[in-house]
A = this chain, B = another copy of it.
Amino acid sequence: MKLLEERILKEGRVRPGNILKVDSFLNHQLDICLLDELGAEFFAHFKDCGITKIVTIESSGIAIACMAARHFHVPVVFAKKSKSKNLDGDLYRAVITSYTHGGDYTAVLEQRFLNESDNILILDDFLATGSAQRGLLSIAQQAGAKVAGIGIAVEKGFQGGGDELRSEGYDVYSLALIDHMTDDSVTFR
């Protein structure tokens, strides 16, 4: 998606450890107009799939999921990263290795919000090794929900997670797919 690629080239900054900072528009400060366009693009791709819910994970996925859900007219459910006093139902659980934060955490989602009648679209801001997406796929499997596809704003293709998921048959639709990154350049596939 040209609009997103251009924004990454203009405002993205590469940091040591294959970190791409896009926090001026995607995951700290949020450009709502841009996110709305990303949502429209996800809708254009997945609109005929019969999506019943959009599933994401806190925190960075929430904004993208909400702006996309507006186009699909379906609810969002986001997996949570910790067990707070507010979670008291039966939970689906998945262990996820965080690339940006380091270490593992358990993502949880209340069972009453996802079941075998659902056909979900998984949305997130980044896909690198694919650990977060696999956590959400595991939650979908526990729920017996179908997965219509996975929509990603920025895929770091050189980390392989997206192509592995595609090779397993998932429709992984990334709006910006980065093949190569150096300190001062970003190359899209």
**Chain A interface residues toward B at CB < 8 A:** 15, 17, 19, 21, 23-25, 27-33, 35-36, 58-59, 62-63, 65-67, 69-70, 73-78, 80, 82, 84-88, 100-102, 109-110, 112-113
Q: Whole-angstrom distance from the CB of A178 to the nearest CB of chain B? A: 16
Bound together, the chains give a CA A114 to CA B30 distance in angstroms of 13
Across the interface, do A70 and B36 meet the contact criterion of CB distance under 8 Å?
Answer: yes
Given contacts A82-B101, A86-B21, A102-B85, contact A66 B30 (CB under 8 A): yes
Instruction: Kindly report which residue of chain B lies nearest to residue A32, judged by CB atoms.
Output: B69
Q: Whole-angstrom distance from the CB of A180 to the nearest CB of chain B? A: 20
Most B CB within 10 A of own CB, among A30, A35, A113: A30
A-B contact pairs, 16 of them (CB 8 A): A19-B86, A21-B86, A23-B110, A27-B86, A28-B78, A30-B62, A32-B73, A32-B76, A35-B66, A36-B70, A58-B58, A59-B62, A63-B76, A66-B66, A84-B100, A85-B102
Q: Which of B15, B30, B58, B101 contacts A59 (CB 8 A)?
A: B58
Across the interface, do B69 and A66 meet the contact criterion of CB distance under 8 Å?
Answer: no
Instruction: Kindly report which residue of chain B lies nearest to residue A31, judged by CB atoms.
Output: B75
Across the interface, do A113 and B30 meet the contact criterion of CB distance under 8 Å?
Answer: no
